């Protein structure tokens, strides 16, 4: 194996609470029921698909594309306000040391995130320099479980799929990694997913794969 591709939210940082708060604000305003269980379904899923999941419980009149775009923009503004408060302390020493350890061993490292805010988050937590390549929501047209975000990450690194590990917390992300022909490592929520090739409880266990 030559490379590791990391999902961002739920693996390197935990912005899912911010996603929850921002979507909850919007859902409350529209009178739509929304809870943490529904929020779990949004893991690794694009912003537009997340909105569709939330609107499953919307009983009002049909919403135009323009209106949906406004709702997504509103959610993103609230979300980015919360992101702006992030600092390097939002990344654990375990994550930083493991990334440095993998790099020392000669592995190439990339980000593979569905988020259009990925670079902003990496800058806030001082992780931008940790990666040889970044593939995120801005360079893809299909979101996880489509393999595109990981295929692009592998291409940017110049490493073929069979030589890449993907580290993911979302089932959609594990499916995407498998569809890309890569080895899927499940952590967090995805550590209980049978399709993951490797399941880990702690981020530092990645060093044991090398
Ligand atoms: P944005 P990941 C994903 O990040 C989140 O898990 C998912 O909840 C979110 O909807 C998606 O990014 C898009 O985020 O609105 O910032 O573009 O887990 O793929 O790093
Ligand atoms: Mg994730």
Q: Which two tokens stand for residue 127?
A: 């992780």
177 and 116 co-located in one domain: yes
155 and 188 co-located in one domain: yes
9 and 22 co-located in one domain: no
Q: Decide: helix, strand or coil at residue 142.
A: coil
The residue with tokens 């299909």 is: 142
62 and 94 co-located in one domain: no
Q: What CATH number corresponds to the domain at position 197? A: 3.40.50.1000
103 and 175 co-located in one domain: yes
What is the distance, to the nearest Å, from the Cα of residue 160 to the centroid of all Cα atoms in its chain?
21
Please report, for residues 83, 99, 167, 180, the alpha-carbon distance to residue 198 in angstroms, rounded to integers and kept in the order given.
31, 18, 9, 16
9 and 21 co-located in one domain: no
163 and 68 co-located in one domain: no
| Atom 16 in ligand 1: residue holding the nearest Cα | 115
Please report, for residues 39, 83, 173, the alpha-carbon distance to residue 36 in angstroms, rounded to integers and kept in the order given.
5, 19, 19
Last residue of a domain, one of 36, 68, 83: 83
Q: Which domain holds residue 39?
A: 16-83
Q: Do the Cβ atoms of 113 and 136 come closer than 8 Å?
A: yes
Encode pLDDT of 142-172 as tens digits. Answer: 999 999 999 999 999 999 999 999 999 999 9
Minimum-distance ligand 1 atom for the alpha carbon of 149: 19
> Domains in the chain: how many in total?
2
In angstroms, what is the span from residue 163 Cα to ligand 2's centroid? 21
Minimum-distance ligand 1 atom for the alpha carbon of 173: 19
9 and 49 co-located in one domain: no
Last residue of a domain, one of 83, 113, 135: 83
Mean of pLDDT values over 177-188: 98
Q: Do the Cβ atoms of 174 and 184 come closer than 8 Å?
A: yes
Encode pLDDT of 95-110 as tens digits. Answer: 999 999 999 999 999 9
Instruction: Give the percent of the chain with pLDDT over 70.
Output: 100
pLDDT of residue 193: 97
75 and 108 co-located in one domain: no
79 and 127 co-located in one domain: no
Please report, for residues 41, 100, 103, 111, 157, the alpha-carbon distance to residue 96 in angstroms, rounded to integers and kept in the order given.
28, 6, 11, 14, 20
Annotated catalytic residues are 7, 9
């Amino acid at each position: 194996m030559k490379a590791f591709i990391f999902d961002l939210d739920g693996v390197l940082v935990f912005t899912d609470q911010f996603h929850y708060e921002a979507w909850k604000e919007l859902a409350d305003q529209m009178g739509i029921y929304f809870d943490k269980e529904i929020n779990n379904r949004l893991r690794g899923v694009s912003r537009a698909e997340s909105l569709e999941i939330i609107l499953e419980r919307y009983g009002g009149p049909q919403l135009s594309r323009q209106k949906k775009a406004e709702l997504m923009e509103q959610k993103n503004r609230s979300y980015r306000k919360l992101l702006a408060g992030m600092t390097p302390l939002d990344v654990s020493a375990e994550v930083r040391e493991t990334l440095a350890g993998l790099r020392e061993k000669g592995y190439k490292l990339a980000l593979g995130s569905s988020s259009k805010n990925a670079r902003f988050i990496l800058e806030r937590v001082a992780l931008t320099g940790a990666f040889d390549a970044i593939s995120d929501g801005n360079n893809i047209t299909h979101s996880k479980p489509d393999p595109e975000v990981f295929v692009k990450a592998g291409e940017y690194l110049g490493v073929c799929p069979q030589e890449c590990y993907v580290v993911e917390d979302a089932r959609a992300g594990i499916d995407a990694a498998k569809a890309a022909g890569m080895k899927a490592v499940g952590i967090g929520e995805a550590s209980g997913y049978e399709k993951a090739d490797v399941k880990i409880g702690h981020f530092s266990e990645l060093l044991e794969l090398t």
